Amino acid sequence: MPVQWTLRSARRQVRNPLVIYAGLALTGMALIILTVAPIASKVVQRWSQRDVELRSRLVFNSIRDQVASGLASKTDINPIAYFNRIAEDERLLALGFCNEAGQLLHATKRLPPKIDCASVARTKNDTFATVFDAERRLLVSAFPLSAGSERGHLIILHDLRFVDERAAKARLYAATALVGVMLGIGLLAAAIMLGALRGWSQLVRSAIADMRQGIEPTSRRADLLPITSEMRLLLRDFRTDRREGDGLQVQWSPQTLHLLLEERLPGTEVIAVSNREPYIHNRNNGSITLQIPASGLFAALEPVMRACGGKWIAHGSGTADRETVDARDHIRVPPGDPAYTLRRVWLSEEEQDGYYYGFANEGLWPLCHIAFVRPTLRLEDWQQYVTINRRFADAIAEEASRDNPIVLIHDYHFALLPAMVREHLPNATILTFWHIPWPNSETFSICPWREEIMHGLLGSTILGFHTQFHCNNFLEATDRFVESRIDREQASVTVAGRETMIRPYPISIEWPPSALAGQPPVEQCREAVKRRFALSPTARIAVGIERFDYTKGILDRMRAIDDLLRRQPSWKGRLVFIQAAAPTRGKLAAYSALQIEAERLAEEINARHGSATYKPIVLVIRHHEPDEVFELFRAADVCVVSSLHDGMNLVANEFVASRDDEQGVLVLSTFAG
Residue among 364, 361, 257, 248 at smallest CA distance from 302: 257
Does an H or E element contain 530, and which?
helix 522-532
Is residue 74 very low, low, confident or very high in pLDDT (cuts 50, 70, 90)?
A: low
**43-165 belongs to which CATH class?**
alpha beta
Q: Are 651 and 542 in contact (CB under 8 A)?
A: no
Q: What is the pLDDT of residue 438?
A: 92
Q: Are 446 and 377 in contact (CB under 8 A)?
A: yes
pLDDT at 231 over 70: no
Q: What is the pLDDT of residue 167?
A: 73
Task: Return all residues near 466 (Cβ < 8 A) that are at least 6 apart.
Answer: 435, 437, 504, 505, 506, 507, 647, 648, 673
Residue among 439, 494, 430, 443 at smallest CA distance from 471: 439
Task: Return all residues near 613 (Cβ < 8 A) that are at least 6 apart.
Answer: none
Q: How far apart are CA 567 and CA 555, in angstroms?
A: 18
Q: pLDDT tens digits for 372-407?
A: 788 899 999 999 999 999 999 999 999 999 999 999
Q: pLDDT tens digits for 13-45?
A: 555 666 676 677 677 767 776 777 677 667 776
Does an H or E element contain 313, and which?
strand 311-315
Q: Are 116 and 124 in contact (CB under 8 A)?
A: no
User: Up-side HSE of residue 53: CA atoms within 13 Å toward CB?
Assistant: 11
Amino acid (1-letter code) at residue 443: T
- List phi, psi (to 5°) of 558: -65, -40
Q: How far apart are CA 458 and CA 43, in angstroms?
A: 63
Residue 552 burial (CB count, 10 A): 26
Residue 408 burial (CB count, 10 A): 22
Name the average pLDDT for the chain.
80
Peptide linkage before 418 cis (omega within 30 of 0): no
Angle at 134 between CA 131 and CA 136, to 5 degrees: 55
Q: Are 84 and 109 in contact (CB under 8 A)?
A: yes
Distances (CA, A) of 300 to 85, 489, 511, 516: 94, 29, 10, 16
**Range scoring the smallest mean pLDDT among 21-30, 73-82, 234-243:** 234-243
Angle at 381 between CA 377 and CA 383, to 5 degrees: 120
Supply the DSSP symbol for 356. Answer: I
Q: pLDDT tens digits for 145-195?
A: 776 667 777 777 777 777 777 777 777 777 777 777 777 777 787 788 788
Which superfamily does 518-668 belong to? Glycogen Phosphorylase B; (3.40.50.2000)
Q: How far apart are CA 11 and CA 32, in angstroms?
A: 28
The H-assigned helical ranges of 97-215 are: 161-212
Q: How far apart are CA 351 and CA 354, in angstroms?
A: 5
Task: Return all residues near 292 (Cβ < 8 A) that are at least 6 apart.
Answer: 278, 279, 280, 298, 625, 626
Q: How far apart are CA 654 and CA 303, in angstroms?
A: 14
Peptide linkage before 334 cis (omega within 30 of 0): yes
Q: pLDDT tens digits for 419-452?
A: 999 999 999 999 999 988 899 999 999 999 999 9
Q: How far apart are CA 500 and CA 498, in angstroms?
A: 7
Q: What is the pLDDT of residue 240?
A: 53
In this structure, what is the dihedral angle of CA atoms 411, 416, 417, 419, given to the nearest 10 degrees? Answer: 130
Q: pLDDT tens digits for 84-131?
A: 777 767 667 787 878 776 777 777 777 777 777 776 766 677 777 777
Q: N- to C-terminal Cα distance for the chain?
A: 27
Angle at 83 between CA 81 and CA 85, to 5 degrees: 70
Q: Are 438 and 646 in contact (CB under 8 A)?
A: no
Q: Are 558 and 613 in contact (CB under 8 A)?
A: no
In this structure, what is the dihedral angle of CA atoms 578, 580, 581, 582, given to the nearest 10 degrees? Answer: 170
Q: What is the pLDDT of residue 248?
A: 44
Q: Which residues of 53-80 are buried (b: 16+ CB within 10 A; e: fewer)?
A: eebbeebbeebeeebbebbeeeeeeebb
- Residue with the bigger pLDDT between 567 and 237: it is 567
The mean per-residue pLDDT over the stretch 236-256 comes to: 53
Q: How far is CA 192 from the centre of its chain?
A: 39
Indicate the pairing of strand 492-495 with strand 498-504. antiparallel
Q: How far apart are CA 415 and CA 458, in angstroms?
A: 9
Q: What is the pLDDT of residue 243?
A: 45
Q: How far apart are CA 460 and CA 499, in angstroms?
A: 8
Residue among 358, 466, 363, 452 at smallest CA distance from 410: 466
Residue 657 burial (CB count, 10 A): 20
Radius of gyration over alpha carbons of the chain, in Å? 40
| Confidence (pTM) | 0.57
Sign of the C-alpha dihedral computed for residues 166, 167, 169 and 173 taken in this order: positive
Supply the DSSP symbol for 416. Answer: S
Is residue 370 very low, low, confident or very high in pLDDT (cuts 50, 70, 90)?
A: confident
Q: How far apart are CA 144 and CA 154, in angstroms?
A: 6
Does an H or E element contain 342, and which?
strand 340-345
Classified as helix, coil or strand, 451 is helix
Supply the DSSP symbol for 218. Answer: P
Q: How far apart are CA 533 and CA 531, in angstroms?
A: 6
**Range scoring the smallest mean pLDDT among 200-209, 227-236, 278-287:** 227-236
Distances (CA, A) of 573 to 169, 539, 606, 612: 62, 7, 11, 11
**Range scoring the smallest mean pLDDT among 201-215, 569-583, 630-644:** 201-215
The mean per-residue pLDDT over the stretch 511-525 comes to: 84
Q: How far apart are CA 477 and CA 441, in angstroms?
A: 5
Domain boundaries, the chain: 43-165, 518-668
Beta-bridged to residue 254, according to DSSP, are: none
Q: How far apart are CA 438 and CA 450, in angstroms?
A: 12
Q: Are 456 and 481 in contact (CB under 8 A)?
A: no
Distances (CA, A) of 522 to 627, 660, 661: 13, 9, 7
Q: How far apart are CA 297 and CA 278, in angstroms?
A: 9
Q: pLDDT tens digits for 615-659?
A: 999 988 888 888 888 899 898 999 998 877 776 777 888 888 888
Q: How far apart are CA 419 and CA 84, in angstroms?
A: 98
